[in-house]
Amino acid sequence: MSEKSEKKSFKQKMMSGQIWKSIWRHDFEDTGVNRGKVLRSNVFLHLHPIRVPKHAMKIRFTWCMGGITFFAFLVECITGILLMFYYHPTVDMAYLDMKYLMFDVPFGQILRNMHRWGAHLMVFSVMLHMLRVFLTASYKPPREFNWVVGVLLLTLTLLMSFTGYLLPWDQLAFWAITVGTNMGAATPFLGVEGPFSIATKFNDVRFVLLGGTTVGANALLRFYVLHVIAVPVVVCVFMAIHFWRIRKDGGISRPL
C-alpha cells in the first residue's frame, strides 16, 4: 500500500495512521469479519450480537420500548447531573432553586422540563416494554430470570421517579410524598398504624423512609440521596444484568 501513497487523500492518510488505528480496532472494508469486529471491538456496541434474526429489527415486533427506556434513563442521567449544579437539597433552598432554574439559569426551564417529562417517558416506556415482553412470551425458558430482573427494574424505575417527586419542595410534592409515605405507617407488623403493629412511630417503616415522623428536612435529604445516587446505582447494576442476560439466554426471543 505504501508504494502508492502519493495519491492518498487526507482521509486515507488519517485512517491508515497510527492514531486512527489505535482508536478503532478494525478495518473499514465492508466484509463480514469487519461487520463483526465493529461490534465486538467497541465497548458501546458490544452488547449487540453479530447477527440477529430479521424480525428482531422490526419495530412492530419490539416496539423499541426497551431501548427507549434505556435512552430515557441516559437522558435522565445527563439532565439530572446538570440540574444538580443548581440544586440544594435543603428546605430553605430547594424551592428557591426551582424558581432560579425557571427564571434565571440559562436553559434552566427546558432542562427541568426535559428531566420531568423524560421521567414520565421512562415510566411509560418501561410499562409498554413489559407488555410487549409478555405478549411475545419472551419470559419463557430460558428467559425466566431476566423477566424477574425486569420486574425489579420496573419497580426501581417507579422508585426513582417517586423519590425525585419530592425534590421541588412544592405543595404537590410535599403532599404526594406525605400520602405515599403514610402507606409505610400502615405496613402490617412494621408500621405504627398497620395491623399487628410491633413498631412505634419512631422506628416504623415511615420513619425509615422519612428520617422523621413527617416530611421534613431529613426526608428531603434522604429522597435526594436515594434519587441521585443510591437507586440509580442499583438500577445500573440490574440493567447490566438485564442486558447481559438477553445475550446469554439466547438473544431476542424468536418463534420455536
Partner 1 sequence: MAEEITEKKPVKKTVPKKEKNPYVWPDLPFMELMCMIVVMLVLILWSLGMDAPLGEIATPSRTENPAKAPWYFIGLQEILVYFDPWYAGVVVPSIIIVGLMAIPYLDNNPKGVGEYNFSARKFAWINFLVGYAMWMVAIVVGQFMRGPSWFFFWPWEPWDPNIHHAEVLLKNIPFATGLISLVVYFALFYLLPIIFRTKIYKQLDFTRYFVLMTLMALMYAVPIKMVMRQVFHIRYVLVTPWFNI
What part of residues 176-235 is at the interface with partner 1 (CB under 8 A)?
A: 176, 178-180, 182-188, 191, 193-196, 214-216
* Least distance CB 155 / partner 1 (angstroms): 6
Q: How far is CA 26 from the centre of its chain?
A: 31
How many residues would you count in the chain? 256
* Least distance CB 143 / partner 1 (angstroms): 7
With beta carbons less than 8 A apart as the criterion, state whether 90 and 222 touch: no
- C-beta of 106 vs 255, nearer to partner 1: 255
Site for partner 1 in 127-146 (CB under 8 A): 127, 130-131, 134-141, 143-145
Q: Is 81 in the site for partner 1 (CB under 8 A)?
A: no
- C-beta of 167 vs 228, nearer to partner 1: 167
* Least distance CB 45 / partner 1 (angstroms): 6
State the cell numbers at 113. 422540563
Which residue among 158, 221, 234, 239 contacts partner 1 (CB under 8 A)? Answer: 158
- Residue of 65, 64, 35 lying closest to 50 (CA atoms): 35
The whole-angstrom separation of Cα 202 and Cα 210 is: 11
The whole-angstrom separation of Cα 61 and Cα 136 is: 8
Count of residues near partner 1 by CB under 8 A: 96
The whole-angstrom separation of Cα 38 and Cα 40 is: 6
Which residue among 8, 15, 16, 48 contacts partner 1 (CB under 8 A)? Answer: 48
With beta carbons less than 8 A apart as the criterion, state whether 204 and 192 touch: yes
With beta carbons less than 8 A apart as the criterion, state whether 247 and 49 touch: yes
Binding mask 89-128 for partner 1 (x = CB under 8 A): ------x--x---x------xx-xxxxxxx-xx-x---x-
The whole-angstrom separation of Cα 236 and Cα 73 is: 10
- C-beta of 13 vs 58, nearer to partner 1: 58
- C-beta of 148 vs 240, nearer to partner 1: 148
Q: How far is CA 108 from the centre of its chain?
A: 22
